[in-house]
Amino acid sequence: TRVSSTMIMVLAPHAAYSNVAVFHAGGDVNLNRLMSTVLPGAQHLQALQNATMRMTTAEASLWFDALQRAHSYLEWGTGGSTVVASWLSLQNSTSLRQIYAIDSSLEWFSKLRLQSDVIARAEKRGRATLRVANIGRTLAWGVPEGWTNRSSKVQSAQAQSYVEERTSCCFDVILVDGRFRKACLLHALRLAHRNTTVLVHDAPRYLDHRAVRLYYDVVARKDTIAQLRPKDGAVNNAKSGDPDYLRLYTQLLYDWARRR
């Protein structure tokens, strides 16, 4: 979820979103005043003052409610979500201790670190890992530049590099909000345990696809974000190399490249 200077959405642990009158889509909130009320003794509040997310209040609430219950968190696509997750991992009163964030632009990560040093603090303490996948030169929002001019072999290799940047299990919460989302949804099963929560942003584009229908149940929806749970047997099928799973996964890497 990329940082936006025009849509401010600051999230606070254990905040009752419906009770914060100024917490609304596109609005802002006085973080210090809010945090002093909902989480006395919270640290590094200044680091969140400019945190922004391209989500509505309902979407951010669903994402954050899941994050508060997690010990480990992975996201494809970074920004305000990375800042907030890093900040949350530094709080003594929360359980989040492992963050793995994947994106496609080293320049973007540099900007994130400049805008909020809370990420660097979380990295230094071993709580956060930011990884850049090699998909070549990128444009805004991490979209690969000149994608249609690349050979299908290069496209597939670079897509796989992004999706499979992390291969070892497991994470409690996974956010799919970057490139190659259908393939990421399938690969997420290899990084999941039976109780993992998977969230996908811009969900209407993906919920009717086989990658979701065959392998996930939709638990909740808020605006354009959906909370998914792996179907019975889905995680085992993914990890065991089930031929149908592998066939669909390989197809999605290729289809994304071809469609672009």
Least confident range from 22-36, 37-51, 225-239: namely 22-36
> Residue type at 147?
W
For residue 10, is pLDDT > 70? no
Residue 174 phi/psi, 5-degree rounding, is -130, 130
Least confident range from 62-71, 186-195, 209-218: namely 62-71
Residue 20 phi/psi, 5-degree rounding, is -105, 100
Alpha-carbon distances, residue 44 vs 18, 106, 156 (angstroms): 24, 25, 41
Alpha-carbon distances, residue 159 vs 85, 104, 119, 134, 218 (angstroms): 25, 10, 26, 9, 26
The domains of the chain, with CATH numbers, are 56-255 (3.40.50.150)
* Global pTM value: 0.82
List the beta bridge partners of residue 52.
8
Nearest to 66 by CA among 81, 83, 48: 81
CA-atom Rg of the chain in angstroms: 18
For residue 30, is pLDDT > 80? no
Greatest mean pLDDT among 27-41, 45-59, 62-76, 233-247: 233-247
% of the chain exceeding 70 in pLDDT: 77
List the beta bridge partners of residue 228.
198, 218
CA angle 20, 25, 30 (to 5 degrees): 45
- Report the relative pairing of strands 72-76 and 171-176 from DSSP bridges: parallel
For residue 214, is pLDDT > 80? yes
Least confident range from 21-25, 59-63, 80-84, 96-100: namely 21-25
Alpha-carbon distances, residue 246 vs 51, 92, 130, 179, 241 (angstroms): 38, 41, 27, 19, 6
* 3-state SS assignment for residue 103: strand
- Mean pLDDT for the stretch of residues 85-108: 90
% helix, strand, coil for the chain, step of 5: 45, 20, 40
| d(C-alpha 254, C-alpha 231), whole Å | 25
CA angle 83, 86, 90 (to 5 degrees): 135
Element (H, E) at 199: strand 192-201
Q: What is the mean pLDDT of the chain?
A: 80
